[in-house]
């Protein structure tokens, strides 16, 4: 087991912005930390810097308080699980699992014992004599994990290991990975673009945007108190509704409607433009004249819940000149109105969050 520390670590490519920009991040001993963000935000580059596959142009990376910058990847005692599994097609499962141990010149009996132990841990005992072409996608993914586990490294790195699996298998496998990691108690950095995957698996979640760390915390804190508007919109499925608003003496005005705010939040926000944030579950359908008017565009029914995608009335294009996105409301499917219906929405004032209109930072009540 080990701790991993990024200290102002940067990766710089010629003629482009920093792929990873002054990253300060600590992964605790035995922790499963998930690194999440949109495509191109620097997630995989961060992982490759730790693995020794990318140089660190500025700053430092430490494993157990020892710098690994300049240390060859094969000497870092770090195992990586790739997106495409990277199994040897001509080898059996047992040979794939034991190959790294052969390179390390372990005895045949030690290799056999470790391979069998790893196969038992992953439920692969019946597959040891099969080759990758004879395995399902889920089994291939477990073999790829087994190749990392069998080495008993100090740190696991996982680069979107579930991206090649179908939706149902992804759900089942992510819980298996999380349970396995906790049982092995190995420090793990897991990279994904899927925020649902991040929220359900991680002890903590770190959010990246354009190579810059936005926030790192336990999933519930990211969801309830996002550091800025980007985290608010990215975390959650669907994400937080974000609207342009104007702070006034009675609350925040969105379009032609004024939404009441808790006194402390209103006083801290002052006056002027803000970005208003509200989660889909913090909105309910209101009676005539009792809420924010909107028109239903589409309804997604998902069994136990439904999502209304509505266009708020009297809401202009946002400051970027783009049309305001649909406002999303989570409701009981039995009460979901049909498309085209005019509705009114009640926003729970205690659930409203405000963000600085220019910087995106969350406004915290004093």
- The secondary structure of 9-26 as a DSSP string is EEE--TTS--SEEEEEEE
3-state secondary structure 122-180: HCCHHHCCCCHHHCCHHHHHHHHHHHHHCCCCCEEEEECCCCCCCHHHHHHHHHHHHHH
Q: What is the pLDDT of residues 71-122, one digit of tens each?
A: 999 899 999 988 787 899 999 999 999 998 998 889 999 999 999 999 988 8
More confident residue, 274 or 165: 274
Q: What is the pLDDT of residues 212-257, one digit of tens each?
A: 999 999 999 999 999 999 999 999 989 999 999 999 888 898 877 8
CB 203 within 8 A of CB 33: yes
Q: With bands split at pLDDT 50, 70 and 90, how would you rate the model's confidence at 171?
A: confident
| C-alpha atoms less than 13 angstroms from C-alpha of 258 in its C-beta half-sphere | 8
Q: Whole-model pTM?
A: 0.89
Q: With bands split at pLDDT 50, 70 and 90, how would you rate the model's confidence at 319?
A: very low
Q: Which CATH superfamily is domain 238-356 in?
A: Nucleic acid-binding proteins (2.40.50.140)
Q: Which CATH code for domain 4-229?
A: 3.40.50.300
Mean pLDDT of 311-328: 69
Distances (CA, A) of 141 to 88, 164, 197: 13, 9, 16
Geometric angle at alpha carbon 118, from 172 and 121, rounded to 5°? 40
Q: What is the mean pLDDT of the chain?
A: 91
Mean pLDDT of 335-353: 92
Cα–Cα distance, 247 to 269 (Å, whole number): 7
Any idea where the domains of the chain sit in the sequence? 4-229, 238-356
Predicted local confidence at residue 314, as pLDDT: 67
CB 262 within 8 A of CB 313: no
Cα–Cα distance, 307 to 332 (Å, whole number): 9
Mean pLDDT of 334-343: 92
């Amino acid at each position: 087991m080990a701790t991993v520390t990024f200290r102002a670590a940067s990766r710089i490519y010629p003629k482009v912005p920093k792929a990873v920009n002054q990253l300060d991040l600590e992964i605790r001993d035995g922790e499963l930390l998930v690194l999440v963000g949109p495509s191109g935000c620097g997630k995989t580059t961060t992982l490759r810097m730790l693995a020794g596959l990318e140089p660190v142009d500025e700053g430092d990376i430490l494993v157990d308080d020892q710098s690994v910058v300049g240390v060859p990847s094969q000497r870092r005692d770090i195992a990586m699980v790739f997106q495409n599994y990277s199994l040897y097609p001509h080898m059996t499962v047992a040979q794939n699992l034991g190959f790294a141990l052969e390179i390390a010149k372990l005895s045949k009996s030690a290799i056999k014992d470790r391979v069998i132990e790893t196969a038992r841990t992953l439920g692969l005992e019946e597959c040891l004599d099969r080759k990758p072409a004879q395995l399902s996608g889920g089994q291939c993914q477990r073999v790829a994990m087994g190749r990392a586990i069998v080495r008993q490294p100090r740190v696991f790195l996982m680069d979107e290991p579930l991206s090649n699996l179908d939706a149902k298998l992804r759900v089942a496998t992510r819980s298996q990975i999380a349970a396995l990691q906790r049982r092995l108690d190995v420090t793990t950095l897991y990279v994904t673009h899927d925020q649902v995957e991040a929220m359900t698996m991680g002890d903590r979640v770190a959010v990246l945007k354009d190579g810059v760390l936005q926030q790192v915390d336990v999933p519930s804190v990211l969801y309830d108190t996002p550091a800025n508007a980007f985290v608010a919109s990215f975390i959650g499925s669907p994400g937080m509704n974000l609207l342009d608003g104007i702070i006034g003496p009675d609350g925040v005005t969105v379009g032609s409607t004024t939404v009441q705010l808790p006194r402390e939040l209103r006083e801290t926000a002052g006056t002027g433009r803000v970005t208003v944030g509200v989660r889909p579950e913090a909105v309910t359908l209101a009676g005539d004249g009792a809420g924010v008017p909107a028109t239903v565009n589409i309804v997604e029914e998902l069994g136990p819940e439904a999502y209304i995608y509505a266009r708020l009335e009297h809401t202009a294009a946002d400051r970027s000149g783009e049309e305001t996105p649909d406002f999303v409301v989570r409701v009981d499917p039995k009460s979901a109105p049909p498309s085209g219906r005019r509705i009114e929405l009640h926003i729970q004032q205690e659930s409203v969050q405000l963000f600085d209109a220019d910087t995106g930072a969350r406004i915290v009540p004093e």
